[in-house]
Structure 1
Amino acid sequence: MMSSSPHLVASLHHTIATHTSDVNSVAFSPDGKLATASGDKTVRLWDTEDFTEVSASPLVGHAYYVHCCTFSPFGTLLATCSTDGKLILWDVKLGTKVATFQHTSKQSIRVCRFSPDSKFIVSGSDDETLALWDVTTKTLVRSYNTCHDASVVACSFTPDSTFIISGSSNGDLRVWDAKYGHGKVLTYVLEGHDLGVTSCDFAPHTKVENSGVTECVTYKVATSGQDNLVKIWEMTADLSCTLVLRQKLTFKGHEGTVNFCCFSPDGNLLASASIDKTVRIWDPSTTQQLCVVEGHTRYVTCCAFSSDSRLLASGSNDKLVMIWKITTQEDCIDNYKEPQCAVKVEKKEDAHKHLESWSAEDVGDWLVQIELGQYKDSFVSNAIDGTELCNMDDKTLIDLGVTALGHRNKILRCIKTAQNKPTITRSVSNISDNGIPDEYLCPITRELMKDPVMAEDGYTYERSAIQGWINKGKDISPMTSIPLKTKHLIPNRSLKMLIQHYLESGKI
């Protein structure tokens, strides 16, 4: 997706607030569907065009927590596994069960993954074993039942479907043969992560070297763990299946257990989800942190990239699934068309309407503007006009179907803003969802500024953002569209000091 590893910008694209318990797993299909698995015993399917729930959803068949969901490479099957000890294969189009598997112990199954060639699926269980299943014949091929001394919570196939790596809550990593079904461990690392491994994922590309004597294949695998770290390992294998697994890189930045990690389908990005309530996106070749995605109010349990690497879904104990649009900072500058704080010109006299005089349709349009348009029909059908909006409280919002606490807080906050400035309607980007004062955010990237500078137009920007704007030959103000007579940038030291104090106060 990008070669020079520019910083990324993650903007909230959509929020799913349907699940009634923890969201434990999310997965995109190659044909435009999103699966979400929850502690409420259900798996739900969504169309990524508009994030409406598909007719086959929800998939109901598990008796307890659903821990994991994963699509087959062609997107026709979905596998789910649960505390009930079952691994279920579903027909995605019909929403019907295709097969149900169980480890012989019938203990909780924590993780499942399809092989890239679609022939097999592997599952890891609390019984300390891996099971390899044939998708076509729906039979058990092999049970890998040696060496792990704790729950198997992570597993992944190499991109050529030849090997499987597994990780346990003890912290060890082990590699197994997947091509021939041999049950012997091929190589291992006893201390992959201190306190326990949580997930693993192979990069989509391999490197093949031929020395003339033998051929050697190199794989790259990412792992996450209870030690707050994400690691990249390099695994090499020759024709005799002699394997070597070496740690290459360590990613530091999370402030709590990293629950999940995954590569983007193109292999250029690595995402990690953590107990610290963030998702972080990294350059997997340099360990450079490209973006910190914040929005969940509780632990982030999982994340997944869409097939084009442009969307990132995250699930959390806050019961929400958030879908983020991923763009580069350069994209933000290139696509920047309207000042984020500029007044939006409305038809006729609408821009000068007081909040109390809004019609129900005005309220509905306002909800769309603040990116909560999923509630528009409920507000309009209940005749919530401007007067009713001014008297809105938390209980009324719940009655209207706004169950997500973050959404209720945002609506109440936006109402207050509209009441204070009744003659204008502001774009959603002018309102910081996490409560950060708007003046601390760069008008271009909408991120907290680290090096604020003032341009000739009198506005303050993040230095790299406005410099990027200028370097692209744009000689007008991004805020006023008035020509910039000079490209000179003046450090805004006062604002930088205020931002520093804000950070030290612990408010974010």
Structure 2
Amino acid sequence: EGSQDTVAGPTVLRHENLVNAIAFGPSESGLVYTGAGKRIGIWLLQRGVRTRELKLQGEVGTGNGVSVSMDGTLLASCGNDKKVTVWGLPEGGELKHFELDGWVRSAIFSPDTTLLAAAGATKAIHVWRVERVPPDGGEKKEVHFSSAHELIHDGTVNTLSFSPDGALLASGGMDKRVLIWDSISGLPLAELRQDDYVMVLAFAPPPAGGALRLAV
């Protein structure tokens, strides 16, 4: 008898409030979400099926963005409460928060988790260094943050993306421009003008021998 290919349909995970942002953890075992419910949740998945839901311990405003570090131990969130908050995983406790001057639309870790970038209504992109320091006499590393750059994007910033190697940071927003930055020096490298507002952008890994790609 001939074999038949089976195509699985989409998995629907229902939520009682508007969802503004989602992000997979590095192993794709967890799906992080945030939105109008003023909370952040983590759906633990097994073969696309939600097994349980975790809720973070702390105050959460209306959420606009979430990002999980590559090793799955840190979660960054941002929202209309003008804060960027970093949470420890899997416990879910708050480790650090930064208060900015306006609502924050995007907060992302670099691929190697040495940088955290955030931006929104203030037209500034805030970049912090992330360092893990083992405390005296302990094995579990503490997470320290220090300011690295404040980059000016002349318009409200809607979206940020690091290149796969972390060397570049792209920003896009209501000024209909995409700006490319050197993430280490903070220097602007390129400007791409668009015909409409830039709501989402993302780098894609280059094919073998090919050029780096950016989707807008």
TM-score normalised to structure 1 length: 0.38
Structure-2 residue corresponding to 1:143 = 55
Structure-2 residue corresponding to 1:311 = 213
Counterparts of 2:8 and 2:167, CA distance in 1? 33
Contact 2:25 2:68 in 1 (8 A): yes
- The yes-or-no answer on 1:249 pairing with 2:149 is yes
Secondary structure in structure 2 of the residue aligned to 1:255: coil
Structure-2 residue corresponding to 1:184 = 93
Structure-2 residue corresponding to 1:174 = 85
Structure-1 residue corresponding to 2:120 = 225
Deviation at 1:187, TM superposition (A): 1.9
Structure-2 residue corresponding to 1:194 = 101
Structure-2 residue corresponding to 1:465 = none
Structure-2 residue corresponding to 1:386 = none
- The yes-or-no answer on 1:294 pairing with 2:205 is no
> Cα RMSD over matched residues?
1.9
Contact 2:66 2:78 in 1 (8 A): yes
What are the Cα deviations for residues 43-91 of structure 1, in whole angstroms up to 9, with x where unaligned? xxxxxxxxxxxxxxxxxxxxxxxxxxxxxxxxxxxxxxxxxxxxxxxxx
Q: CA separation of 1:127/1:248 partners in 2, compared to 1, >3 Å: closer, same or farther?
A: same
Counterparts of 1:255 and 1:273, CA distance in 2? 10
Secondary structure in structure 2 of the residue aligned to 1:112: strand
What code does the residue aligned with 2:92 have?
Answer: G
Can you give the 5+ residue segments of structure 1 that lack an aligned partner in the other structure? Answer: 1-92, 207-218, 315-508
What are the Cα deviations for residues 79-104 of structure 1, in whole angstroms up to 9, with x where unaligned? xxxxxxxxxxxxxx9572124132xx
Counterparts of 2:160 and 2:42, CA distance in 1? 22
Which structure has more strand as a fraction of its residues?
2
**What percent of counterpart residues are identical?**
25
Contact 2:180 2:191 in 1 (8 A): yes
What is the number of equivalent residue pairs in this alignment? Answer: 200
Counterparts of 2:103 and 2:81, CA distance in 1? 5
What code does the residue aligned with 1:128 have?
Answer: K
Contact 1:129 1:145 in 2 (8 A): no
Counterparts of 1:281 and 1:128, CA distance in 2? 32
Secondary structure in structure 1 of the residue aligned to 2:184: coil
Counterparts of 2:144 and 2:78, CA distance in 1? 16
Where in structure 2 are the equivalents of 1:159-170 lying within 5 Å?
A: 159-170=70-81
Counterparts of 1:176 and 1:167, CA distance in 2? 11
Secondary structure in structure 1 of the residue aligned to 2:199: strand
Which structure has more helix as a fraction of its residues?
1
Where in structure 2 are the equivalents of 1:212-291 lying within 5 Å?
A: 219-237=114-132, 238=134, 239-252=139-152, 254-291=153-190
Counterparts of 1:97 and 1:229, CA distance in 2? 38
Counterparts of 2:144 and 2:63, CA distance in 1? 21
Q: CA separation of 1:183/1:162 partners in 2, compared to 1, >3 Å: closer, same or farther?
A: closer
Counterparts of 1:145 and 1:101, CA distance in 2? 22
Deviation at 1:145, TM superposition (A): 5.4
Structure with higher Rg: it is 1
Greater than 6 Å deviation, 4+ residue runs: none
What are the Cα deviations for residues 486-505 of structure 1, in whole angstroms up to 9, with x where unaligned? xxxxxxxxxxxxxxxxxxxx
Contact 1:128 1:145 in 2 (8 A): no
